[in-house]
Structure 1
């Protein structure tokens, strides 16, 4: 397993190719090429980004240099590491026969070849090389990793038992892969047992970032399998992007404009609950509120401050807000009662062409609030 250069956590660092897009307001618009993500840590999420053409140049150069020198086990090992680093399945298949002829009596190289083909999900070729590799501890570890890739942690567990029995810290990272495989299948109890045994044999691991990360995944997720969600929305073809985005962006901007304008003219009723009129100043304009006669005004949403000119009615501020994304569809009615003395009620009644019986109206009363 690799070690993150940023947080120091040990684990499998991800390598993949991602698209680059021109964005507007967080929305991807036009494709502008590809970028290569290298050494992404799943704990701290930091990575390295390379221009895709530069990454291709480095890949071709590295594979060319490695494939020309396959005379010693060290050179074969370097070639296989390069193949995995650059996901070069074709180069692996081209050189597999030469490596087999040259190192068929080397169980270490045979096991690494099996691991490389297993990495690319070429199961038949992986099985053939694992069969020729023997049963050394390292070969057993690679066989276990192969079983984990296929989704069989129960089959991998016996192959890794010797790590616990002999307390081999050099192979300890493989045990975390076993715990992760159990978690992916929703077998949280089995994953917890693996982590408990790791802590028992190597107590210092309990404070390591990667160990805490696995514990966090296990916490509160009993028997809930991890599902890989894939987007069902097809990518927009390049030739159709100007038409699609040329239509969607103006519509989006229009909708945002409508929601903004709806927030600037929010209707609000001013209500006097006393038995005498009094004046109120709101949004820089002075108004006279008559008892029992609501006055409708349109005002921008936000924290509204108002000032009253009646000794018993205090000045204050209220929050008139709605959710901006659905504001255009909301029919929210606001009522401001500065004196908090008005008694409001709503009546709900039913109507039918042929009523089957009497329908009792429902009343709801509201009082002692400034803003309704």
Structure 2
């Protein structure tokens, strides 16, 4: 059964007041921290470190075949045997190390000087893995108050999880989460309720009372819809939903992805229709074929480091960390802000993040100088 993209995109565009999404662009993509699957094992997760997955790159107005990056290549003074630009050519280390690189400044200055926009999807995978718990509980307590505060509740549950992540996921593993069995539901909700009650001392009283109110009758629930009848221990089976989002939001555009066999093989599971015609506005290609994909590798590498840095930084430390940036780091951060602001002005649809409230606040402060604390 084909999916009419207009049924998907219209309410989303209206809800988020997205602008210029019917314009024609050419999107190039690459990924950072692409672990493809996330599942629970006896030792924890199947991956050693759960950095943020970022699918991002550049967008150009109108349909184009590729970009010319000769000036960028020359300015970076890469060795003649370099056939394609990679993130490693800009620098190494974590985000703050990257901000201190001269070549990062060259790259960001070039981006800002060209008629190029950037786009990104950013995923905090641990946050994504636990928010279905809140949706399942609200599904059984459909009060408008909880719908209004659902983002705050999800962020608070995530904060509790992060306060003792090992214990929490050990508990989930014992029930093959997210596939809780009916005969184990009472045991699961009892342990979950005890965990929330015990750990909720780390959030302020007002928000704690909202969370505890929602979970007051947790032990009596006979169903948790979104975390039952799933697959044992599989938190993220694939990233397909995140690949197709921009395809239907920007349905009139061309989308060129870096080769990703795991996605290309299952893309047919999401056949799209634009009214009476088939929507096939994407292709996968080798990065050596398209310089736009190579530039997208640099964007994704930078943003992958940035959003992981935002996730891991304590909110209480953000003023100190930003205040200790040296001159080059400040200049590069401002160049990041400029290219993101330019792109956001062109279309808010270029950006999408799945992360907690604290991460949104840290991002607003660190990158955009907006303090909500």
Query: Shared fold (TM-score greater than 0.5)?
Result: no
Q: TM-score range by the shorter chain?
A: under 0.3
Instruction: Return the structure number with greater relative CO, CA threshold 8 A, min gap 6.
Output: 2
Q: Which protein is richer in strand relative to its size?
A: 1
Q: TM-score, normalised by structure 1?
A: 0.23
**Greater C-alpha Rg:** 1
Q: Which protein is richer in helix relative to its size?
A: 2
Q: TM-score, normalised by structure 2?
A: 0.22
